[in-house]
Amino acid sequence: MSYTVTESRPVGANGTPALMCRPDAPGSFPCVMLLHERYGLVKHTEDLARKMSADGFAVCAPDLFYAHPDQAALHAGTVGAKPSDPEVLALLEDAFTLFAGVAGADASRFGMMGVCQTGRYPFVWAKHHPLTACISVYGAAQQSDWEVNERYPWGMSGLIDGIETNVLGIFGEKDHVISFADVVRFRNALESANLNYQVTVYADAPHGWLNDTMPGRYRPVTAKQTWDEAIAFLTDTLVTGRDPSLIDWKFTATKHTDYDFTKNVRME
């Protein structure tokens, strides 16, 4: 069933702005926080928020980098924002309160989806708050994510260890940022933590294939597969309600016999 969508532009008590979308229908809907790529909250992410809401979810797409002084350069990708995990957590907490003002939003059924740079942020949330569905799309697995430093005081190992959530990780064979070995490390960490997970690696997919505003990297067939997989995962965990006493480990990956990470390049 596809819903028409009602949207608003609320701002958290501490100043975090967001696009809020909800199905224009009576009833109770699970909540999902949809996080943008490194470019901040741009049209691509807003379109995904509306699309996700049409599938039956109350969706909050916060602008986590709203305080960056040069928004035009940020949106163009010529500069980047590099908040620490504790700073990100405060922004997410501010945005999460916005669900309380949305009719029919059931925040007890909560999922979060991060993409690229924000792919680690659902794990930051899960380290500190309940999270039923944790989705990372070509994020959270590159070498720098595992480091422990001032920006990343926990590192991915520290974020994964001890959390309770259901994880969906989606990656691409041709990603120039995350190698196949990085994905295996990510999968192994999920297994060590005894988490229910589903990890997929799509053949020939470069970094950023979901973004339809970047023709060089957008892959429409893989993008549809990715979206369908994410919605199915959210439905299973937030709507249908999977049996929490069961843990499934699903690793589906495709790569070529001549795979060579060093030959992967950035697509525009």
Question: What is the pLDDT confidence band of residue 46, given thresholds at 50, 70 and 90?
Answer: very high
For position 185, what pLDDT does the model report? Answer: 98
Judge whether residue 130 has pLDDT over 90.
yes
pTM score? 0.98
For the chain, the three-class secondary structure string (H helix, E strand, C coil) is: CCCCEEEECCECCCCCEEEEEEECCCCCEEEEEECCCCCCCCHHHHHHHHHHHHCCCEEEEECCCCCCCCHHHHHHCCCCCCCCHHHHHHHHHHHHHHHHHCCCEEEEEEEEEEEHHHHHHHHHHHHHCCCCEEEEECCCCCHHHHCCCCCCCCHHHHHHCCCCCEEEEEEEEECCCCCHHHHHHHHHHHHHCCCEEEEEEEEEEECCCCCCCCCCCCCHHHHHHHHHHHHHHHHHHHHHCCCCCCCCEEEEECCCCCCCHHHCCCCC
Flag whether pLDDT at 9 surpasses 90. Answer: yes
144-193 pLDDT, tens digit each: 999 999 999 999 999 999 999 999 999 999 999 999 999 999 999 999 99
For 92-117, how does the pLDDT look when each residue is reduced to its tens digit (9 = 90+)?
A: 999 999 999 999 999 999 999 999 99
**Proportion of the chain above pLDDT 90, given as a percent:** 98
- Which CATH code fits 5-263? 3.40.50.1820
**Mean pLDDT, the chain, integer:** 97
| pLDDT, position 1 | 78
Per-residue pLDDT at 217 exceeds 90: yes
| 139 band by pLDDT with thresholds 50, 70 and 90 | very high
Mean pLDDT of 56-76: 97
